[in-house]
A and B are shown apart, each in its own frame.
Chain A
Amino acid sequence: MTQSIVVQVGQCGNQIGCRFWDLALREHASTNKNGIFDESLSSFFRNVDTRYKNPIDIPLGNSKQKIKSLKARAVMIDMEEGVVNEILKGPLRDVFDCQQLITDVSGSGNNWATGFMMYGQRYREQISEVIRHAAELCDCLQCFFLIHSMGGGTGSGLGTSVLNLLADEYTDVYRFTSAVYPSADDDVITSPYNSVLAMHQLTEYADCVLPIENQALVDICNKVSSALPPTKTGKKVYHQSSQCHIKASSAITSSDGGVKKGPEKPFDNMNNIAANLTLNMTSSSRFEGSLNVDLNEITMNLVPFPKLHYLVSSQTPLYSLTDVKLPPRRLDQMFSDAFSKDHQLIKADPKHSLYLACALMLRGNVEISDIRRNIERLKPSLHFIHWNQEGWKTGLCSVPPVGNPYSLLALSNNTCIRHTFGELKDRFMKLYKRKAHVHHYTHVDGMEASQFDSSIESLKWLIQEYETLEAQMGRTVEDIPRLKIA
């Protein structure tokens, strides 16, 4: 079994990361009732004997050791102290130790250059050391999950600087990035700059990017909460009451059952969605199933051309009802929803664009014939590129997510993403035409003005590539004749 390390950078990255660890613990607690440190736990956690002054890792051995003290395979980086300190004071404090922590006090001022150039240089050694330490504690390191935002300074700047470092020092370890893109009405004025500069790095150095758009998360949260019954104060909560039909803890936005107690914070619901994404994506490599999907299979199947590694994701169902007797229609609905516009984690509509490839990762009580039936059913309404008409990758993991009988994560390499990128480009150009705020960036040591040009060129190239592919939609393409045998 392989291990993965989560690197969470900046305020957004750490908040999502924090939710991730809570939900990961909840998930393992629900499948692992005996408190044994097993292989699936070892992929994200270490088992540590804290009785010693210099705590040592307890080796996995024959998977029969009791859990002593779990430590997350995480590296937390922020250039402010607020969020990280809060995590370390919170209920999750015991899964982190301060050796895996890098903070500063002054923040990056929403400036990519400050994060990438200044802090990137200043902390390179230290970050490298912390990551090396985490990597050495892995038996077989497979993947880095990088979580950060694109709009701010620390997440986008220092986050992509860490990505460079990983690409440099761990060439054969996969780099998956969950990148949170700002909405069009984002309140950070320089967010288009930061996003475009960061994207250049993602395009070059990540193996796989899962873009997440703030607005899409807000919409999904609204969808879930509108299905919840209101309580007396008008606030929507997940309590099981007599007239409640949604099963507690089943909603994709819910933290129910985690170690976190007390009122949920406003962003928790949104962050839970992003955290579940990583959890669902890795489920098949952590748990048993009849058709396993290892992490390296995701890039292998979904990235037909280098650099076109941006995947649109959707997770269904958003919640499940208390009524456990589910007619089969509900299962088929889960598949349909996964392709609908309002379940995607970015504001885009894959149904009306061209699919290059699509992965369906199922968990729980689903059989291969259910998948095949639904692929046949959905295929006519989807457009696949002519050389990949059967571009489906499927996986079956037997362990369902907490609170649900089954779930589906759909990952698609779809040209619809070019709209998101196009809008970002427009916003960038609006500022850049007047060179607004550019001096804030060029003041930073090491930052060249040319960086702006090369980054926007890279983005334009990416949009162009997707456009060229989308232009092939519906067109019949002349086949090149096959080899002839004399």
Chain B
Amino acid sequence: MSVVSLQLGQCGNQIGGELFNLLIEDATKLNPQFFSKSVDSKVNHEYDCEVVERFFTRDKTGNSLNARAVMIDMESKAISQTLSQAKKSGKWCYPEGQQFCQKRGSGNNWAHGFLEHGPKSWERVLDMVQKEVEKCDRFCGFLIFMSLAGGTGSGVGAYITGSLRDEFPHSFILNQVVWPYGTGEVIVQNYNAILTLSHLYRCSDGIVILENDKLQNICSRLMNLKHISFKDINEVISHKLASVLQPVKLFSQGRDAGFYKHATSVRNLLGDLIEQVCPHPEYKLMTLKNIPQMSEKSLAYSTYTWTGLLKHLRQMLIADASMEEGIDWEVKIPVPSNPDGEDYHQRPGELPRLKTRFNKSIANLLVLRGVDVHKSDLASFTDPRLNASWVPSGCATTIWCHPRPFNNYEKSATLLSNSQTPVAPLNFVVQKAWNMFTSRAYVHQYLKYGMAEDHFVDSFAATEQIIKSYSSL
């Protein structure tokens, strides 16, 4: 089934471009080192076809691939840069006429994006979206790339997500949002972030959060980069996303190496993903943890076992680590005698704090890719103590897999988890925004575009509610 992507703002367009590039690279590049031994040609062909069906259309000649994407920005530079980079790849490009841009940017102002640009652009954007949806034989939903900090990604993005929900009430909508750096990108980013999140929470089915600070750490510590550019960060983002979005099969344990020939493919990727990971409307935030991640140079000299990878990944989950380096191994799942709700306590005027720092989940999706995937032992991920007590045991962890090595990694595992991870960054953002708001700083810039102060208060209430819900798991 096919997914239509929407790329919003400079950040969204850059990430979208990077992701499509990786999807097609991964589908076409065959690394002989792995492929001779593990995957037969039929499975490879199937993989290829699925990638193309899901994310690309073939033009009439059948030779060149067009991404199923609509590009939206209020200013033309980012789009034209992304377009020309796609063309340069020689493997794919963007469909013609599916770019919407205005002449004036949103100026980091959420209200400008949401109240002015959004409504003005909607009609033409809808046209393009419909055109793209009509190209799909089987349409399964929307994937939206945007940032939380800027004006276009956040403001227009929130508006368009809401309008898509009205126009396509039965389609799945998955938003991928980039969480801004703690300091130094956009000064009003915290306002923009809470306004966006509170709106997305109403209309999106699931929100995948990627934090710039953590991504930069990954680039410097795991990828060994000295000068980190946005391109490097976007490459890490697209690696994480693609490791979930590429074709997968349902996992069944204990079979022999041939089981995947008959294993069921996951067709309705977005739908299944959202159904598994976001089972409750109050819990829609997802984060991605993956292992291993390293520079191409070190990759050639590394080998991994499934047992080792999964052990690390599980500890990353419960200790809430964003990468395999510096995991706190002290964190343990508490014994069942420790009653629920005691894990957090909140003194007046203080932020909710974990007593035991164990990171609790609602649901997890584990994606395994690579050689000998059937040999992995997954008992540690199905432990019901990983999850909130009310989650029915047995359906909290979903496992997908594919025998084909992904993006040059012989074995790799990714965890898409709906857990307490977002509480800390969300708390930080709300605190900063609230400090600013109580001094009424920058508020006049938003009121200028017809926003009311109540709008801020509502968004604060909504985000506080999210924090509260997750904290009290």
Q: Is the CB of B438 within 8 A of A480?
A: yes
Does the CB pair A394–B185 fall under 8 Å?
yes
| In the complex with contacts A301-B108, A393-B187, A292-B10 CB distance below 8 A | yes
> B298 at the A/B interface (Cβ < 8 Å)?
no
Binds A, one of B19-27, B28-36, B129-137, B440-448: B440-448
Cβ of A288 under 8 Å from chain B: yes
**Given A301-B188, A306-B444, A392:B183 Cβ within 8 A:** yes
A128 at the A/B interface (Cβ < 8 Å)? Answer: no
Q: A463 vs B239: C-alpha distance in the bound complex, in angstroms?
A: 52
Chain A residues 246-297 with CB under 8 Å of chain B are 288, 290-292, 294-297
Are the CB atoms of A1 and B184 closer together than 8 Å? no
Residue A485 is within 8 A (CB to CB) of chain B in the complex: yes
Q: Least Cβ distance of A144 to chain B in Å?
A: 14
Q: Are B10 and A139 in contact (CB under 8 A)?
A: no
Interface residue from B103, B187, B229, B468 paired with A368 (Cβ < 8 Å): B229
How close is B444's CB to chain A, nearest CB, in angstroms? 5
Contact A371 B184 (CB under 8 A): yes
Stretch binding the partner chain, chosen from A339-347, A383-391, A446-454? A383-391
Taking CB atoms and an 8 Å cut-off, the chain A residues in 431-486 that contact chain B are: 479-485
- B76 x A482 contact (CB < 8 A): no
Q: Which of A39, A139, A360, A372 contacts B181 (CB 8 A)?
A: A372
Partner of B438, one of A294, A296, A304, A387: A387
Given contacts A300-B107, A305-B441, A485-B465, contact A292 B229 (CB under 8 A): no
CB distance from A305 to the nearest CB of B (A): 7
Name B87-109 residues within 8 Å CB distance of A. Answer: 103-109
Chain A min CB distance to B333 (Å): 27
- CB contact between B230 and one of A2, A290, A357 (< 8 Å): that residue: A290
Is A381's CB within 8 Å of the partner chain B?
A: no
Query: Which of chain B's residues have a CB closer than 8 A to the CB of A303?
Result: 442, 445
Stretch of B56-64, B196-204, B368-376, B427-435 lying at the A interface:
B427-435
Cβ A1 vs Cβ B439 within 8 A: no
Selected contact of B186 from candidates A39, A139, A301, A396, CB within 8 Å: A301
In the complex, A375 has a CB within 8 A of chain B: yes
Query: Closest Cβ of chain A: how far from B340's Cβ, in Å?
Result: 19
Query: Within the assembled complex, what's the spacing in Å between the Cα atoms of A379 and B184?
Result: 11
With a cutoff of 8 Å between Cβ atoms, the chain B residues found around residue A301 in the complex are 108, 186-188
Does A367 sit at the interface, judged by CB under 8 A?
Answer: yes
Contacting A at CB under 8 A, from B227-266, are 227-231, 233
The minimal Cβ–Cβ distance linking A139 to chain B, given in whole angstroms, is 7
- Bound CA–CA A480/B430 (angstroms): 13
Establish whether residues B187 and A392, one from each chain, have CB atoms under 8 Å apart when the complex forms: yes
A479 and B228 in contact (CB under 8 A), knowing A369-B216, A372-B216, A485-B465? no
Say if the beta carbon of A348 comes within 8 Å of chain B. Answer: no
In the complex formed, the residue of A with least CB distance to B471 is A485
Given known pairs A372-B181, A386-B435, the reply for A140 and B104 (CB within 8 Å) is yes
Q: Quote the shortest CB–CB distance from A130 to chain B (angstroms).
A: 23
Say if the beta carbon of B291 comes within 8 Å of chain A. Answer: no
Candidates B107, B183, B439; contact of A390 at CB < 8 Å: B183
| Residues of chain A whose beta carbon lies under 8 Å from any beta carbon of chain B | 1-2, 39, 139-140, 142, 288, 290-292, 294-297, 299-306, 356-357, 360, 367-372, 375, 379, 386-394, 396, 479-485
> Considering the complex of A and B, which 6 residue pairs feature the smallest CB-CB distances, nearest first?
A296-B107, A392-B184, A140-B103, A390-B183, A369-B228, A304-B441
In the complex, 9 of the A-B residue pairs with CB atoms within 8 angstroms, ordered by the A residue number, are A294-B104, A299-B445, A367-B227, A368-B216, A368-B230, A387-B435, A387-B436, A387-B441, A485-B465
15 extra interface residue pairs, beta carbon distance < 8 Å, beyond A296-B107, A388-B187, A390-B187: A1-B77, A290-B229, A294-B105, A295-B107, A296-B105, A297-B151, A300-B188, A369-B229, A390-B182, A394-B184, A480-B434, A482-B430, A482-B464, A483-B457, A483-B461
